[in-house]
Amino acid sequence: MQLKQISPYCYEIPQSGSMNVPGRVFMSERMASALSEEEALKQVANVATLPGILTAAMAMPDMHWGYGFPIGGVAAFDWDTGVISPGGVGYDINCGVRLAGTGLEKKEILPAVERLVTALFQNIPSGVGSTGSVKLSVKEEMRVLREGGRWAVRQGLGEPSDVERTEDGGCMAEADPSVISERALMRGTRQLGTLGSGNHFLEVGVVDEIFDERAARAFGLFPDQVTVLLHSGSRGLGYQVCDDSLAFMARHVRTLDIQLPDRQLACAMIRSEAGRRYFAAMACAANYAWANRQILLHRARETFQQVLGIGPRDLAMHQVYDICHNIAKREEHTVDGKKRIVCVHRKGATRAFPPGHPAVCEAYRQTGQPILIPGDMGTASYVMAGTRTAMAQSFGSTCHGAGRVLSRKAAKKRSRGRAIHRELADKGILVKWTGRSTLAEEMPEAYKDIDQVVDAVHGAGLSKKVARLRPVCVIKG
Q: Where are the beta strands (DSSP E) in 165-312?
A: 201-210, 225-232, 268-269
CB of 126 to ligand LQESDW3C, least distance (A): 12
* Number of residues in contact with ligand LQESDW3C under rule CB under 6 A: 22
In whole angstroms, give the CA distance from residue 12 to residue 6: 7
Partner touching 476 among ligand LQESDW3C, Mn ion, none, CB below 5 to 8 Å by kind: ligand LQESDW3C
Q: Out of 53, 71, 76, 172, point to the residue binding ligand LQESDW3C (CB under 6 A).
A: 71
- Is residue 168 part of the contact set for ligand LQESDW3C (CB under 6 A)? no
Of the residues 252, 298, 345, 400, only one is catalytic, namely: 400
- Is residue 477 part of the contact set for Mn ion (CB under 5 A)? no
**Binding-site annotation, residues:** 92, 199-203, 231, 325-326, 374-377, 381, 400-403, 476
CB proximity list for 407: less than 8 A, separation 6 or greater: none
CB of 195 to ligand LQESDW3C, least distance (A): 11
Mark residues 74-93: x for contact with Mn ion by CB under 5 A, - for none. Answer: ------------------x-
- Is residue 374 part of the contact set for Mn ion (CB under 5 A)? no
Residue among 81, 74, 58, 158 at smallest CA distance from 350: 74
The three-class DSSP label of residue 315 is helix
Q: Which stretch binds ligand LQESDW3C (CB under 6 A): 106-114, 168-176, 306-314, 399-407?
A: 399-407
Residue among 203, 180, 165 at smallest CA distance from 290: 165
- Is residue 37 part of the contact set for ligand LQESDW3C (CB under 6 A)? no
In whole angstroms, give the CA distance from residue 397 to residue 391: 7
Distances in Å between the alpha carbon of 14 and those of 46, 56, 173, 392?
A: 12, 10, 38, 20
In whole angstroms, give the CA distance from residue 162 to residue 322: 9
Number of helical (H) and strand (E) elements in the chain, helices listed first: 17, 19
CB of 289 to Mn ion, least distance (A): 9
C-beta neighbour count of 419 within 10 angstroms: 11
CB of 90 to Mn ion, least distance (A): 8
Q: Out of 13, 40, 95, 207, point to the residue binding Mn ion (CB under 5 A).
A: 95
In whole angstroms, give the CA distance from residue 216 to residue 370: 9
In whole angstroms, give the CA distance from residue 282 to residue 241: 7
Q: Please state the φ and ψ torsions of residue 311, each to the nearest 5 degrees.
A: -95, 175
Tell me, yes or no, if 357 is annotated catalytic. Answer: no
Point out the residues that are catalytic.
400
| Binding residues vs ligand LQESDW3C (CB under 6 A) | 62, 71, 95, 199, 201, 203, 231, 348, 374-377, 381, 400-403, 442, 447, 471, 474, 476
| Binding residues vs Mn ion (CB under 5 A) | 92, 95, 233
